[in-house]
Amino acid sequence: MLEPLSAPRPDGPRDAARRRGEAFADLIHLASRSTDLPSEAGERPHISVTIDHDTLCRGLGHAVLDGDRHLSAAQARRIACDAKIVPVVLGGDSEILDLGRAKRTVSVAQRRALHARDRGCAFPGCHRPPQWCDAHHVRHWADGGTTDLANLVLLCRTHHTLIHHSQWRITTTGGTPVFIPPRHVDPARRPRQNLLHRPPTPVATPAPLAA
């Protein structure tokens, strides 16, 4: 199971150990969505992350996990794309002012709609099927983005990380995700789409000439 998932990819990590690690994470990610697991199958892992709102929006600095462990603000933004979020509003002296109700950011119905629309990772040239993908907010929820289909796109783990840590940009055209590469990839920044998941356009057969 690991070997095909950890095969070298042009846009993936070159280090073999890291590729195998990401492949193992993909397997766990897929298994967590299986309907054959107990009744809590499909629930994302629950962790408590404490971070200042301005730090989260800027993507700079760090967040604190349970047990005083740290992760970067950029990592917190990426995790929050496809997670159950429990907002905790703190006052100036760190007193809890409001503990929000946990909400799933992407509903089952929205997930099905994304599967039907994107048919897999929407990044140009990626073959990964929808069950290997996360639902990514085009405009991050921390920046005021909404959890609507027009603001969601399926991305595999590799390209989800790439979008969060690079200058690639995503827009939508006619409801279809369009990717704008950074200048070092394409100086003209020409829009790109993933056409690999699209069914082939049928070729019209000319009508026979009348005798």
- Does residue 119 contact residue 197 with C-beta atoms inside 8 Å? yes
Percent of the chain beyond pLDDT 70? 66
Nearest-5° Cα angle at 47, 46 to 50:
145
Closest CA to 48 of 108, 5, 100, 121: 100
**Statement: residue 211 has pLDDT above 60:** no
The model's pTM is 0.57
101-123: buried (b, 16+ CB within 10 Å) or exposed (e) per residue? eeebbbeeebbeebeebbbbbbb
Neighbours of 197 (CB within 10 A): 17
**Statement: residue 190 has pLDDT above 60:** yes
The more confident residue out of 135 and 211 is: 135
**Statement: residue 153 has pLDDT above 90:** yes
Question: How would residue 41 be classed by pLDDT, with cut points 50, 70 and 90?
Answer: very low
Q: How confident is the model at residue 100, as a pLDDT?
A: 47
Of the ranges 5-9, 94-98, 157-161, 180-184, the best mean pLDDT one? 180-184
In order, the DSSP letters of 113-154 are HHHHHH-S--STT----GGGEEEEESS-GGGT---SGGGEEE
**Statement: residue 15 has pLDDT above 50:** yes
Question: How would residue 179 be classed by pLDDT, with cut points 50, 70 and 90?
Answer: very high
- Does residue 171 contact residue 150 with C-beta atoms inside 8 Å? no
Q: How confident is the model at residue 99, as a pLDDT?
A: 46
Closest CA to 196 of 115, 119, 114: 119
Q: What is the per-residue pLDDT across 74-124, written as a single tens digit (0 to 9) for each?
A: 777 777 666 665 555 555 555 554 444 444 467 777 888 888 888 899 999
**Statement: residue 199 has pLDDT above 70:** no
Per DSSP, 176 falls in state E
Of the ranges 102-116, 131-145, 160-174, the best mean pLDDT one? 160-174
**Statement: residue 210 has pLDDT above 90:** no
The more confident residue out of 175 and 104 is: 175
Q: Average pLDDT, stretch 133-148? A: 81
The more confident residue out of 22 and 50 is: 22
